[in-house]
Amino acid sequence: MKKIKAVVDRIVDGKHVVLLIGDEEEEKVVPLNKFPDEIKEGTWLIIDFSDTNKDIIQKISIDQRETDTRKQRIKSKMELLRERSTKGRND
């Protein structure tokens, strides 16, 4: 099996998940029922694809460490932007 990281870009119609897969961020639409219940936009995953067919998903697991790391990075950037915005108004 080939393991690849992916991120949940969005959930469409409550039935499908749009993934951005790998460094190339290739879009792939997968039925929602293939995923753990707790996924949401921004959740990072490790996807095991079949060795013989890259379109066949063998297993999907949540990469909690990557999800937490990315969320923290975004939070830090948002705080910095808010700080700059507030500072700019006070000058």
pLDDT digits (tens, 9 = 90+) for 11-67: 999 999 999 998 999 999 999 999 988 899 999 999 998 887 777 889 999 999 999
Q: How far is CA 24 from the centre of its chain?
A: 13
The residues with which 49 forms a beta bridge, in sequence order, are: 2, 57
Domains of the chain by start residue, with CATH: 2-90 (2.40.50.140)
Percentage of the chain beyond pLDDT 90 is 69
How many residues can be counted in the chain?
Answer: 91
pLDDT over 90 at 73, yes or no: yes
pTM confidence score? 0.81
pLDDT over 70 at 68, yes or no: yes
